[in-house]
Amino acid sequence: MKISILTLFPDMFNVFNHSIMGRAITNKIIDLELFDIRDFTLDKHRKVDDYPYGGGAGMVMAAQPVVDCIKHVKKKNKGKVIFLGPRGKTFNQNMAKDLSSEEELIFLCGHYEGIDERIYEYIDEEISLGDFVLTGGEAACIPIVDCICRLIPGVLSNSESFKDESFYDGLLEYPQYTRPLNYEGMKVPEILMSGHHENIRKWRKYKSIEITEQRRPDLLEKYQLSAEEKKIIKEFRDKL
């Protein structure tokens, strides 16, 4: 996948030089390009913002440098332009799955009090990380790009598979344990030591549903329990 990020702070994305993302870039599974919006301003002082018409606090990102940057990037990247802003739909795993199937994407990071409204003419989609305020679009862009990229085939190794992770199938993940078997009196559940793969699978499914019910009931309300899952729930709760 080719990803272009338009930002005022390119150095913030050095995080992608490490770990799984760094490996994906080195292996050319991900082609990541950063573009400094200041490089496209016509202002001799490299300004990219100005006071809002009508008054008000703060500054607004000007149309000229942002639009010129988008037009430049579009010459090599034909993907949809995604703006990280508060008006957008809240990002979730289903959106990540959809976007991971794209071949090219362009992300625009906002700043200050927002962007000139006319820039929206060049934006295809707006995404919000959540109902809270960040210092800039970069802070939202990093986790969103990371979430999308790890779903691309080849980015994760088999040992790092995302199939059983929280949110992938709409539920939170089941509990995980590693050695030692007994830590300060807290023991690993016996079923995980049984070697009975089918029983372990059912236990994990039940625990996934139970934890989701306890901690994120809103997710469980949207989740359609299968006939098998209902049977698993009954089986384990009958033992209580």
The annotation places the binding site for S-adenosyl-L-methionine at 110, 129-134
Strands (E), 38-187: 49-50, 60-61, 80-90, 104-109, 125-128, 182-183, 186-187
Give CA–CA dist 20/145, Å, rounded.
12
Give CA–CA dist 61/114, Å, rounded.
6
Give CA–CA dist 20/18, Å, rounded.
7
Counting beta carbons within 10 angstroms of the beta carbon of residue 109, is it exposed (0 to 12), middle (13 to 18) or buried (19 or more)? Answer: buried
Paired tokens of 12: 């913030």
CB atoms within 10 A of CB 211: 17
For the annotated binding site, the residues are 110, 129-134
- Mention every residue, 6+ apart, whose C-beta is less than 8 A from residue 111: 8, 49, 61, 136, 137
Q: How many CA atoms lie within 13 A of 24 on its CB side?
A: 24
